[in-house]
Chain A
């Protein structure tokens, strides 16, 4: 079927506003990951879902960041009270089971700009 999709593709918001970023993984993939990619930087891990559970939230930078996944499918990353340093590309990836050795399939990303 289709690959990983993310929406919106671009988001411009004002400092202090809340934003929601959406990820639709490949159908049947139980593992889902969120990453942040700042300009010229590598990938920063944010959170990992296995089904609807998040066994690893260690990468969330502050309590302004939260994420959920429902129905073992769609995931939403929410950033409350956005700050300028939140500006980045947010990437979502999924894999079949989350096991070592599996390929990750990435979405095109959401480019967030906080003014």
Chain B
């Protein structure tokens, strides 16, 4: 079956630091990969996605590259802000079988001024 593994949190950084949140996956078929973000008290919203190998998704300064050879989709940002404090979820949907998304457990990011 499909699975997504994210690094454990919380990740605590100072403003303007570099961010990496690791995400690896196992999937049948050809997965599409997503990062969703959940701000305090809100539902999840799409941050970025990539639908085929070597694609790079980007949004709001965040980037992630779909690496088929390492089955990874790590999230990066060069300079985080306090407003980036949130929980980040890596997810996939796979064309091989059910289209039900598989989510990672989420990684909490705390950015201090």
Chain A interface residues toward B at CB < 8 A: 4, 33, 41-43, 45, 48, 56, 91, 93, 98-109
Most A C-beta atoms less than 10 A away, residue of B29, B43, B104:
B43
Chain B interface residues toward A at CB < 8 A: 29-32, 34, 36, 41-46, 49, 51, 89, 93-95, 98-101, 103-106
Closest partner residue, chain B, to A55 (CB atom): B98
> Contact between A98 and B99 (Cβ–Cβ < 8 Å)?
yes
Find chain A residues with CB under 8 A from B29 CB: 100
What distance in Å separates the Cβ of B73 from its nearest Cβ neighbour in chain A? 14
**Contacts known (A4-B43, A42-B105, A108-B43); A103 close to B99, Cβ less than 8 A:** no
Find chain A residues with CB under 8 A from B42 CB: 108-109
Bound together, the chains give a CA A100 to CA B44 distance in angstroms of 18
> Contact between A109 and B99 (Cβ–Cβ < 8 Å)?
no
> Contact between B104 and A100 (Cβ–Cβ < 8 Å)?
no
> Contact between A43 and B103 (Cβ–Cβ < 8 Å)?
yes
> Contact between A103 and B103 (Cβ–Cβ < 8 Å)?
no
Residue of A45, A100, A106, A109 near B45 (CB, 8 A) is: A106
Find chain A residues with CB under 8 A from B98 CB: 56
